[in-house]
Chains A and B, each alone.
Chain A
Amino acid sequence: MTFEPKIVAFLCTWCSYTGADSAGVARLKSPANIRAIRVPCSGRVSPELVMRTFDQGADGVLVLGCHIGECHYDTGNHRAAKRLPILHSLMQYVGLELERFHLDWVSASEGERYSRITTEFVRSVRELGPITWRIAPEYVLTKNQNLESPQLLPYLETDCAGKTDAIRSKAKELLTSGKVDCVIGYEMGPRGRTRPSFAYSEKDADRLVWNPDVTNNLTGYIPFKFKRSPMGLQEPRKPVAVIVKPCDCKAVNVQLAENHYKREQLYIIGVTCDGVRDKADGIQERCISCVERVPKVYDTLIGEAPILVESSTQPRQDKIETLLPKERLEFWLSQFDRCIRCYACRQACPLCNCPTCLYERDDSIWVGLGIGLNEKRTFHLGRAYHHAGRCIGCNECERACPMEIPLSLLNQKLAGEIEKMFGFRAGETIAPSPILTVLSGEYQEGK
């Protein structure tokens, strides 16, 4: 018996579902593989829903909505047009074949078009064969799926002592004048490691430093400061000062765009950056391709604008793009297999701040609780998708991961897709992600 794919089609009530109906009324042949799910609007079809469908074993997923300009809810299909292609590129990046997902537009009278699209889609999925997305417990992973670290540039000495002095004096000035309640910066820990520091007094401010290892993104602490305070400390009423590198301050822009706090509540001490040191004494990979050396937003700037070492290479990303879908699937499965679902990546991210994470909810149906391969992959893909157009590339997620999973690759991929599709880069200005907002007339032809 030849393979017959199981296709799930999300049909919007007003157009495509009715279109399917009219195909039936006109006795036009449509493939029986389609399991139709009727939704109010194609915009309702969220990426989590599509991933869940693949997780549950669908060989292909089809989403049909009203033509652009004809949505019953005005801009619902704009939503689908923006979100689903981004998801599609992410899933393709992780090894799903391109042809297994399709978004198209069918109006209520276009029975013939419905019949044609579904027949064509089922034919192309049938040719691909059964899907290998959902992993059975007995699956044996391919070994040795290491991604080589690229050749690192050596770390160059810069004026850290000067910056340290400037930071300390600025912090003391802000604290003694009463302008701010707290200065969040960096300090040296007991084992010579640099870590976040919270200065509430002049004495505390003397611990602040600037050195080659100031890798943490301190902006993650800011929303926390304004919502609750740690046990025993007074709720800060005054603004908070934070020391930011050029990459970090982009997170501030995204946090402001998402209304976590007002700009007046923050005093930004921007510091110019030559890159942060890596464990192997080179510059961290993310710094090599960074083109910003001066923070975009600040109240005080410390340091001279350094000479830019231009390099836009992304060697790890390039390597993955050369792999075939099956190889990509294997690679990413071996990476996610190591994951222990500790959520360190989520906690370390300055922009992951849902009160209850979608993937941790007791009533969550999007992914199971288990620390199994399918669940872990869905969690990471979903989380990466939630950061499309928001992630500023600080790579805290990858750094915090105890199992050294190259998470930043997922975020980088989506950032690239967003830039291609919308010409938008997160954090450059105070603007939310383009796929979170729906504005008429923003749709771009073609996927």
Chain B
Amino acid sequence: MSKGKGTVEDVVPVQFPAQSSPDVKTWLVSRKELISWLDRISSGQILIAPTDISGILQYHRVMDSSEIVFDFIRPKLSLKEVIFPPTELLFKIHRNGLELNLEETHPLGKTAVFGVRPCDARGMKHLDAVFLTKGAEDSSYSKRRENTILIGLGCKQTGPYCFCTSVGGRLDDASDMDIMVNETETGYLVQEISEKGHSLVLEDSWKKSNPYLQKNISIGEFPVPDKEKWPTHFRDEFWARIGERCLSCRACAYVCPTCRCFVIRDEKSAPNEFERIRCWDSCMGENYRRVAGGHKPRDKKGERQRNRFFCKFYYFPEQYNLGDTSACTGCGRCIEICPVGVDVTEVLTELESIV
């Protein structure tokens, strides 16, 4: 396995079941065809794609393909913003005398998200596990998810903070997408990955192509300690050192593709009308774990840092068993925006050396 950041060491046909199999429908389209396809999608349903919002790249609704940015590393916020929005109205409560009526909210219509990076789609897979499985289906999330089709865009380049291959990801990973697009020298290879994706592809006008050849690139070489090794280090003083620098600012959790804690509150919106809203929250906040009476089990910053890493690398894999190493997708957003330089890759490296 070759090392190096974003360099194509070798291109070999690797036997992965989904992407490179001849059974997967693959087409070669030109840039013009891709753009007109996206325009067609945006006219029929909601199209979300990476676009510039006052200088920041985000997954946001676009009215046509001219607003889409094609050359980028990854948007500032993850796909989580689309499927699990920062604020969501769950339902309204109307009071008529002694009677209470609930008014449901209806999700947005059919939505296609273009330009999804493999790390973000992988994050989606983890959110799906939490919100849709184990007999506790979140109806709001589920309705939104059902109506969403993911059109992935493989990475041509990586950023200085990316390390997805260290946690089992790939720059062109299509396993969590519905349709996958990879740019090559001769055009864009579009692949139908799932049944959901089938509804959007234009079989007739596109030129069929040979299967996609996966690239064997590895970026970053950060060790991820096996989940069994984590419990023994629960009480290490190591966590206090990591936590000391932390500001409990919560930015890491908010930009993370897999962090999913939330808070729910009923608020009065009009006379005799309440709204039940759900908002993002984070275990890194000082008051997150405060209980009635004022006690805070995770009062200290080191404890909260420890919780965040354990949640990603031990609790989640232990509880959900998705077959991958962790709930971290290696996107590197947390490293990029941390104001005080807390670095997940540094924590993993140090922990591995202690072990």
**A interface list, Cβ under 8 A from B:** 143-146, 189-191, 193-198, 216, 220, 228-233, 334-335, 337-338, 340-344, 346-348, 356, 360, 368-372, 396, 399-400, 402-404
**Nearest-neighbor residue (CB-CB) of A368 within chain B:** B267
Whether the Cβ atoms of A335 and B54 lie closer than 8 Å is yes
Whether the Cβ atoms of B244 and A338 lie closer than 8 Å is no
Cα of A228 to Cα of B335 in the assembled complex, Å: 26
Whether the Cβ atoms of A220 and B244 lie closer than 8 Å is no
Mark B88-115 against chain A: 1 for CB-CB distance below 8 A, else 0.
0000000000000000000000000000
In B214-249, which residues have CB < 8 Å from any A CB? 237, 239-241, 243-245, 247-249
Whether the Cβ atoms of A338 and B267 lie closer than 8 Å is no
Whether the Cβ atoms of B346 and A334 lie closer than 8 Å is no
**Nearest-neighbor residue (CB-CB) of A341 within chain B:** B86
Whether the Cβ atoms of A348 and B240 lie closer than 8 Å is no
Cα of A228 to Cα of B277 in the assembled complex, Å: 34
Q: Please, could you name 15 A-B residue pairs with CB atoms under 8 Å apart, sorted by A?
A: A189-B346, A196-B340, A198-B241, A198-B244, A230-B243, A232-B302, A340-B77, A341-B279, A343-B250, A347-B248, A347-B250, A369-B277, A370-B87, A402-B76, A402-B337
Whether the Cβ atoms of A343 and B341 lie closer than 8 Å is no
Whether the Cβ atoms of A403 and B56 lie closer than 8 Å is yes
What's the minimum C-beta distance from B106 to chain A, rounded to whole angstroms? 14
| Residues of the B chain whose Cβ atoms lie less than 8 Å from the Cβ of A146 | 54-55
Cα of A193 to Cα of B250 in the assembled complex, Å: 20
Using a Cβ–Cβ cut-off of 8 Å, how many residues does chain B contribute to the interface with A? 51
Most B Cβ at <10 Å: residue of A230, A335, A400: A230
Whether the Cβ atoms of A230 and B255 lie closer than 8 Å is no
B254 touches A (CB below 8 Å)? yes
**Nearest-neighbor residue (CB-CB) of B81 within chain A:** A340
Whether the Cβ atoms of B339 and A396 lie closer than 8 Å is yes
| Residues of the B chain whose Cβ atoms lie less than 8 Å from the Cβ of A342 | 249-251, 253-254, 282
B145 touches A (CB below 8 Å)? no
What's the minimum C-beta distance from A363 to chain B, rounded to whole angstroms? 11
**Nearest-neighbor residue (CB-CB) of B269 within chain A:** A368
In B286-326, which residues have CB < 8 Å from any A CB? 287, 299-303, 306
Could you say which of B53, B86, B160, B255 contacts A402, with CB atoms under 8 Å apart? B255
| Residues of the B chain whose Cβ atoms lie less than 8 Å from the Cβ of A230 | 240-241, 243-244, 300-302
| Residues of the B chain whose Cβ atoms lie less than 8 Å from the Cβ of A190 | 343, 345-346, 349
| Residues of the B chain whose Cβ atoms lie less than 8 Å from the Cβ of A347 | 247-250
Cα of A403 to Cα of B254 in the assembled complex, Å: 11
Cα of A194 to Cα of B340 in the assembled complex, Å: 8
What's the minimum C-beta distance from A357 to chain B, rounded to whole angstroms? 9
B32 touches A (CB below 8 Å)? no
Whether the Cβ atoms of B240 and A400 lie closer than 8 Å is no
| Residues of the B chain whose Cβ atoms lie less than 8 Å from the Cβ of A216 | 339-340
- Do A195 and B245 contact each other (CB < 8 Å), given the known contacts A369-B279, A396-B339, A399-B339? yes
In B31-79, which residues have CB < 8 Å from any A CB? 52-56, 58, 76-77
Whether the Cβ atoms of B279 and A371 lie closer than 8 Å is yes
- Return the 6 tightest CB-CB contacts between A and B, nearest first: A195-B341, A344-B249, A231-B302, A347-B249, A371-B86, A400-B339
Cα of A404 to Cα of B302 in the assembled complex, Å: 27
- Do A403 and B76 contact each other (CB < 8 Å), given the known contacts A189-B346, A190-B343, A190-B345? yes
Cα of A342 to Cα of B338 in the assembled complex, Å: 12
Could you say which of B76, B240, B255, B349 contacts A231, with CB atoms under 8 Å apart? B240
B141 touches A (CB below 8 Å)? no
B134 touches A (CB below 8 Å)? no
B285 touches A (CB below 8 Å)? yes
Cα of A342 to Cα of B261 in the assembled complex, Å: 13
Whether the Cβ atoms of B53 and A228 lie closer than 8 Å is no
B8 touches A (CB below 8 Å)? no
Cα of A127 to Cα of B54 in the assembled complex, Å: 33
- Do A231 and B254 contact each other (CB < 8 Å), given the known contacts A189-B346, A344-B339, A371-B279? no
**Nearest-neighbor residue (CB-CB) of B88 within chain A:** A370
| Residues of the A chain whose Cβ atoms lie less than 8 Å from the Cβ of B280 | 340-341, 371
Could you say which of A220, A233, A334, A404 contacts B247, with CB atoms under 8 Å apart? A220
Whether the Cβ atoms of A343 and B249 lie closer than 8 Å is yes
A198-B241, A231-B306, A402-B76 are known contacts; what are 15 more A-B pairs with Cβ within 8 Å? Answer: A145-B54, A189-B346, A195-B245, A196-B340, A231-B239, A231-B300, A231-B302, A341-B86, A342-B254, A342-B282, A343-B249, A347-B249, A370-B279, A400-B249, A403-B76
Whether the Cβ atoms of B55 and A404 lie closer than 8 Å is yes
| Residues of the B chain whose Cβ atoms lie less than 8 Å from the Cβ of A220 | 247
Whether the Cβ atoms of A228 and B249 lie closer than 8 Å is no
Cα of A26 to Cα of B163 in the assembled complex, Å: 78
Cα of A343 to Cα of B254 in the assembled complex, Å: 10
In B248-264, which residues have CB < 8 Å from any A CB? 248-251, 253-255, 263
| Residues of the A chain whose Cβ atoms lie less than 8 Å from the Cβ of B87 | 370-372
**Nearest-neighbor residue (CB-CB) of A339 within chain B:** B86
What's the minimum C-beta distance from B301 to chain A, rounded to whole angstroms? 5
In B121-162, which residues have CB < 8 Å from any A CB? 160-161
Cα of A99 to Cα of B299 in the assembled complex, Å: 47
What's the minimum C-beta distance from A405 to chain B, rounded to whole angstroms? 9
Whether the Cβ atoms of B254 and A340 lie closer than 8 Å is yes
Most A Cβ at <10 Å: residue of B247, B254, B300: B247
